Amino acid sequence: MLINVMIGSPGGMDDSRQAIQGVIEEWNILHSTDQSAVLMPYRWESRAPSLVGQGSGQDVIDSRLVDKSHVLFAIFHHRFGTPTGAFGSGTEEEIERATRLGLRVHLMFSAEPGDITRIDLDQLREVRGYKARMSPRGIVREYADLRVLGEITRLALEDDVRTFKSEYRTGVAGHDGAELRVELDMVSAPGPAIVVRNDGKERVEDLVINRVTVGGNTANIRNSGIAAQLPVGATIRYGLYATPPQGQDVSVELGWSGSSGHTRTAIVKL
């Protein structure tokens, strides 16, 4: 399970951004194997491509990072950021977009002291006003130093992984050396999907999802019945039109052929 974790903030918060990334990397070292999950840090400076003519820089960040993330850590200190037109800052836009997409959003404010001579009072008022507006929408955290920020981040990530694992189910279809990993992905945008990955040693031909049932009832799935080719290591997504209720059994019937040309079928229960 791959969980993309975006780190958003106005400028001037490099230490806090790096602290969050450090906790993400530490979690991967300590827990990725036993939890069967990897956290992928998303920061605009390392993930957003150099691109012009495709909208503003914020548009690129939104489409390339926010829309592909599962979690957003948003942090503020003394600066609110630069207005984007629709929002008071790029970070505010990222938060609202992430909320609409159903991402898990962790909002935190630094209480670390700063150089009073370099603080823009208008920006500080914007930050305080935003904190007051957002507080009724959930739990907003404050941190006094990077150590506390690390503790808050670890707690949030543990809850993220626990939540995602409860929504993420997987099974394997195998026959004559072929191995297809079938997953129910309830996490990724734009919505729930059946994901099939070729983990075998040969190319899969004519892969077809014949039927998906949820709690014994047939579920509507995009591109069902359409044959696809799946090279070794490749993945294909079949979007579901509705979110399966938590706790209900999901069954996937699929068929394919391998290099021998023999037709194979399997039913995977998730």
Residue 44: CA count within 13 A, CB half-sphere = 22
pLDDT of residue 76 exceeding 70, the answer is yes
Pick the residue with more confidence: 151 or 264? 151
Q: What are the chain's domains?
A: 2-166 (3.40.50), 169-269 (2.60.40.1230)
- Residue 188: the pLDDT is 66
In this prediction, residue 189 has a pLDDT band, given cuts at 50, 70 and 90, of low
Extract the tokens encoding 83: 């207005």
pLDDT of residue 65 exceeding 80, the answer is yes
pLDDT, the chain, mean = 88
Q: Give the mean pLDDT of 40-44.
A: 92
Find where tokens 């949820």 sit.
214
How many Cβ atoms from other residues are within 10 Å of residue 256's Cβ? 25
pLDDT of residue 91 exceeding 90, the answer is yes
CB 183 within 8 A of CB 169: yes
Of 20-24, 64-68, 69-73, 141-145, the range with the lowest mean pLDDT is 64-68
pTM: 0.67
- Residue 24: the pLDDT is 97
% of the chain at pLDDT higher than 90: 44
- Identify which of 147-156, 165-174, 226-235 has the greatest average pLDDT: 147-156
CB 158 within 8 A of CB 71: no
Pick the residue with more confidence: 176 or 268? 268
How many Cβ atoms from other residues are within 10 Å of residue 249's Cβ? 12
Q: Which helix (H) or strand (E) holds 181?
A: strand 178-185
Give residue-wise pLDDT tens across range 196-236.
Answer: 988 888 888 899 999 999 888 898 898 878 889 988 888 89
CB 212 within 8 A of CB 196: no
List beta partners, residue 175.
178
